[in-house]
Amino acid sequence: MPKHRHIVTVRDPRDSVWQSVVERVAKREAQQAAVAHRAATAMQAPAPSAPSALQAHLDTMVEAANAQVFDRDELAQGRIPESFALAPQGAARSLGGVAATPMVSGLESAKRCASLSLQIAKAKVFGTDGQVQVLQNAFDFNVCDPFWVKCVNEYVTHFQLNGDKIPYRAGLDNLLPTPVSANATIALFGDWGTGTQDALDLLQQIKGFKPDILMHLGDVYYSGTQDEMQERFLDVCESVFGASMPTRFSLSGNHDMYSGGEGYYWLVDQLDQRASYFAIQNDDWLFIAMDTGVHDFDPIQGGSSATFLMSSEASWVNQLVANKGNKKVVFLSHHPLFSAYDPIGGSSLNPVLLSQIQDSLPQVTAWFWGHEHRLGVYDPFQNLQRGRCLGHAAVPVFADGTGDPPKLAGVPVFHQNGKPLDMGAADGIFKHGFAIMTLNGQSANVSYYRQGDTDPLWQESY
Ligand SMILES: [Fe+2]
């Protein structure tokens, strides 16, 4: 624990599904080989190659698939020049520069096969027979491991099986009986489901605050399969908290939905969350978690489109707020209402989501969201007093030296000492972070921490 040193997230949801498929096939191959090896050993028959040798080979396959989609994503976004992406400069660069990894023999040829296989898989699901044939000829010309054929078949099967709707649980009045004490400590963190050492370390740091509630703002990578929910959410929580587990919640993000949502809803049942939307409360506070992932599930269309709530859920949210009495309201979601950084359906604001909850917004003390892998703190905007993005818990993001300045005009970013809050970087990667909300009767303090820091980067009180 953790099993994954690297995490590579890309913008094309079809690639996220591919990453899950490759990992799943590799895991299955390793398990089958281990069984065969044990059986052969027990029978004193000639054993197939040692499981450790096969594991190294499978690790290379997974690494190649991740490196290939990562390089293409970087190219598409213009963050690296073509020559750099295509030259075999070493795996460390290809995998996010997280750790200096020695060049793996055969990695580059595996990347070629990974690339061709993904193209074939996509052509089979989304393209034409002609495209498949051309790509298949290229694939046959290269000497590729049969592993890739299994991945292509699994990818095609995935889309045949998961072409239906997300198993959204509509119509629940899901105000949970979860106790929230008057001085509860709530950890807020988003896009954390990577299973990496960084994710483990961050949760370890959170543990130091003795949280009563872990509020994960969604996204378990790569596509929210049950295995990924187990390994990258439950197992990591277990290894950090063991028997003293806080109450846990995990919101519905786009990556959670890319595999069709079954893994996510399985997790929801492990957490006693009942649904992808829920509310918890005490005498002074009402927390309402909304499901914005349900309309950002499409591995074909997904990415940066303007998602929205199910209409029944929006009505439920507005009704809760209308009947809140003297309670202060906190909204929680995976997707942002607005952004000064990444366009939402081509705009800085999600007008569909806004239209659904705009009557409630003046009553909302703060809205915490994730999705963008950064800290974002905003001045009042669109009748929302405090929009806060906390999607920087675990996914590595390159720091290009510019400090991630706001890119979209018109959205007011909070400034301290004349500039936005600065997460800083280490080894070319932006630092990760989280927030700790401490209730104190009717008031609350929210402290924003950087990974590894003892003192908060910034704090606010309501
Ligand atoms: Fe997301």
Domain ranges of the chain: 13-162, 185-461
Tell whether the model's pLDDT for residue 104 goes beyond 50: no
Could you tell me the pLDDT band of residue 180, with boundaries at 50, 70 and 90? Answer: very high
Instruction: Return the amino acid letter for 261.
Output: G
Instruction: Return the amino acid letter for 180.
Output: V
Per-residue confidence (pLDDT) for residue 13, from 0 to 100? 78
Strand 375-377 to 364-369 pairing: unpaired
CA of 403 to the centre of ligand 1 (A): 21
The SS3 call for residue 279 is strand
Could you tell me the pLDDT band of residue 230, with boundaries at 50, 70 and 90? Answer: very high
The SS3 call for residue 188 is strand
CA of 354 to the centre of ligand 1 (A): 18
CA of 121 to the centre of ligand 1 (A): 24
Among residues 311, 449, 319, which one has the least CA distance to residue 393?
449
CA of 219 to the centre of ligand 1 (A): 6
Query: Rounded to an integer, what distance in angstroms lies between the CA atom of residue 408 and that of residue 73?
Result: 21
Q: Is the pLDDT higher at 144 or at 290?
A: 290
Chain segment 265-286, per-residue pLDDT in tens: 999 999 989 999 999 999 999 9
Query: Rounded to an integer, what distance in angstroms lies between the CA atom of residue 80 and that of residue 99?
Result: 19
- What DSSP element (H or E) covers 310? none
Per-residue confidence (pLDDT) for residue 86, from 0 to 100? 37
Residue 370 CA: distances (Å) to CA of 136, 276, 387: 40, 15, 11
CA of 429 to the centre of ligand 1 (A): 19
Among the ranges given (61-65, 81-85, 145-149, 180-184), the one the predictor scored with the smallest mean pLDDT: 81-85
Query: Rounded to an integer, what distance in angstroms lies between the CA atom of residue 95 and that of residue 104?
Result: 12
Per-residue confidence (pLDDT) for residue 150, from 0 to 100? 86
Per-residue confidence (pLDDT) for residue 49, from 0 to 100? 65
CA of 114 to the centre of ligand 1 (A): 24
Q: Is the pLDDT higher at 86 or at 110?
A: 110
Q: If you search the block for the tokens 């609350």, which residue do you land on?
A: 444
Could you tell me the pLDDT band of residue 97, with boundaries at 50, 70 and 90? Answer: very low
CA of 109 to the centre of ligand 1 (A): 31
CA of 372 to the centre of ligand 1 (A): 7
CA of 391 to the centre of ligand 1 (A): 8
Of all residues in the chain, the percent with pLDDT exceeding 70 is 88
Q: Is the pLDDT higher at 409 or at 36?
A: 409
The SS3 call for residue 130 is helix
Q: Which two tokens stand for residue 383?
A: 């009748």
CA of 230 to the centre of ligand 1 (A): 19
Describe the strand order of the beta sheet including 213-216 as a list of residue ranges: 247-250, 213-216, 185-189, 433-440, 443-450, 458-461
The single-letter DSSP state of residue 283 is S
| Contact (CB, 8 A) for 298 and 260 | no
CA of 389 to the centre of ligand 1 (A): 11
The SS3 call for residue 105 is coil
The SS3 call for residue 134 is helix
| Contact (CB, 8 A) for 297 and 304 | no
CA of 312 to the centre of ligand 1 (A): 23
CA of 78 to the centre of ligand 1 (A): 21
Q: Is the pTM for the entire model greater than 0.85?
A: no
Among the ranges given (45-59, 127-141, 254-268), the one the predictor scored with the smallest mean pLDDT: 45-59
Could you tell me the pLDDT band of residue 133, with boundaries at 50, 70 and 90? Answer: confident
Per-residue confidence (pLDDT) for residue 112, from 0 to 100? 86
CA of 199 to the centre of ligand 1 (A): 16
Chain segment 303-325, per-residue pLDDT in tens: 557 899 999 999 999 999 999 99
CA of 142 to the centre of ligand 1 (A): 35
- Helices 107-126, 51-76: inter-axial angle, 10-degree rounding: 70
Tell whether the model's pLDDT for residue 114 goes beyond 50: yes
- What size, in residues, is the chain? 462
* CATH number, span 185-461: 3.60.21.10
Query: Rounded to an integer, what distance in angstroms lies between the CA atom of residue 205 and that of residue 64?
Result: 32
Q: Is the pLDDT higher at 226 or at 51?
A: 226
| Contact (CB, 8 A) for 433 and 457 | yes
Q: Which residues make beta-bridge pairs with 220? A: 193
Among the ranges given (14-23, 35-44, 179-188, 340-349), the one the predictor scored with the smallest mean pLDDT: 35-44
Summarize the confidence of residues 417-439 as an average pLDDT: 93
CA of 425 to the centre of ligand 1 (A): 22
CA of 173 to the centre of ligand 1 (A): 26
CA of 335 to the centre of ligand 1 (A): 7
